[in-house]
Structure 1
Amino acid sequence: MKHKPLRQKVTRLLKVMVGTLSAMMLSTIPVMADTVQESQIVKGTENLIQDVTTWLMVLAPIVGVLLIIYFFIRRSAADEIDQKKWNNRIVTVIVSVVGAVLASATLNLIIGYYV
C-alpha cells in the first residue's frame, strides 16, 4: 500500500519530464553565430590575448634570466645546506620559464587560427 503513492509520484515525474523534453525539442529557435564572431568584444579579446601572449614570450625569459643571476649570486654566498635550496630555486625558475613560453606560444598559435 505504501508503494502505490511512490509509484504515482514517479509516474507523474516521468510524465512531466517527457512533456518538458518534447516541448523543448519542438520549440527550437535557430540562432545565428555570425554576429558574435564579428562583434567588437570578440575581436578585441582576440587581439588582447595575442598581445599578452606575445609580451609573455618576451618578458618570461628576461625575468627568468634575471632571477637565475640573482639566485646564483645568493647561492655563492650560502653555505652547503642553503646551496641545495638555491639550486632547487634555479631549477624551478628554468622549468617555469620554459612552461610560460610554451603556454603562451601555444595560446598564440591557437588564437592565430581564429583571427
Structure 2
Amino acid sequence: MLKKIKNFLEKIKEKIVITLVAIYTASMMSTPVYAVEGVSNSKIVTGTEKLINDTTTWLMILAPVLAGLLIIYFCIRRSAADEMDQKKWNNRIVTAIISCIGAVLGSATLNLIIGYYR
C-alpha cells in the first residue's frame, strides 16, 4: 500500500515539475510585441471601417427601394386574393414597411456610431 502511494506521489511530482518547467520556459522565451503605428492606422481597421461605412450607405439606399417593390408586388397579389388571403397580404405589407424602417434606422445608427471614430 505504501509503495502505491509513493509511486502515485512520484508521478504527481514529475507532472508538476514538467508543468513548472514548461511555464518557466514559455515565460522566458516570450518576446514582447509593440505596436509601432497604433492599431487605428492598420489596414485591417481602416478597411473594416470603410466596408461598414459603404455597406450601411448602400443599405440605406437599397432597403426602401426593395421594400417599395415588395409592397407593390404584395398589393398586386392582394387585389387578386379572396378575403382570407387579403389579410395575409396585408400582414406582409405591414411587415415589409416595418422591416424597411428597421433596416434604415439600424444602418443609420451604425453609420453614426462609425462616424464618431473618424
Q: TM-score, normalised by structure 2?
A: 0.71
The alignment status of 1:88 with 2:91, answered yes or no, reads: yes
Q: CA RMSD in A?
A: 3.0
Runs of at least 4 residues off by over 4 Å: 29-34
Structure 2, gaps ≥5 residues long: 1-31
Structure 1 letter corresponding to 2:70: L
Q: Deviations over 1:1-48 (max 9, x none)?
A: xxxxxxxxxxxxxxxxxxxxxxxxxxxx79659521100111011001
Structure 1, gaps ≥5 residues long: 1-28
Describe the shift of the 1:82–1:42 C-alpha distance in structure 2 as closer, same or farther (beyond 3 A): same
Give the aligned partner of residue 66 of structure 1. Answer: 69
Q: Identity of paired residues, percent?
A: 69
CA–CA distance in 1 between the matches of 2:73 and 2:104? 21
Q: TM-score, normalised by structure 1?
A: 0.72
Give the aligned partner of residue 14 of structure 1. Answer: none
Give the aligned partner of residue 99 of structure 1. Answer: 102
Whichever of the two has the greater Rg, that structure is 2
Describe the shift of the 1:76–1:64 C-alpha distance in structure 2 as closer, same or farther (beyond 3 A): same
